[in-house]
Amino acid sequence: MTDRFRLTKPAIQDIEEIADYIAQQSGLEKSEIFLSKLESKFSKIVTFPLLGRKRDEILINIRTIPLDNYLILYLPIGDEIEILRVVSGYRDLSTLFTDVDD
């Protein structure tokens, strides 16, 4: 992966949980395919940082881009991309960043 994006701790945890879930439900090969598609999507975001949908209602300047049934939430910051979360597209996104102090 490139050094032009950074995964936050919550994003790393999200990815690990999703990969584990896919491996348990569908096998290791499917999990590896998901991770490969995720890496490809990160590269695309780095190349085209404004590609995702702007979602100021969630957090100012945040963008989302879909991958299968998941959403990648990220912030373009200068020449870099900060991947904040990777979550189910069915999740209530408005609550993701409200419990910061907990």
What is the domain partition of the chain in residue ranges?
Answer: 5-90
3-state secondary structure (DSSP) of residue 68: coil
Q: What is the mean pLDDT of residues 11-20?
A: 97
pLDDT digits (tens, 9 = 90+) for 81-93: 999 999 998 887 8
* Portion of the chain with pLDDT greater than 90, in percent: 77
Overall CATH class of domain 5-90: alpha beta
**Report field, pTM of the whole predicted structure over 0.85:** yes
| Residue 81 CA to its chain's centroid (Å) | 11
The per-residue pLDDT for 68 is 92
> Is pLDDT at 54 greater than 60 in this prediction?
yes
Tokens 């994006």 belong to 5
Q: φ and ψ at 80, to 5 degrees?
A: -120, 165
- CA–CA gap between residue 25 and residue 31 (Å, rounded): 9
pLDDT digits (tens, 9 = 90+) for 64-85: 999 999 999 999 998 899 999 9
> Is pLDDT at 99 greater than 70 in this prediction?
no
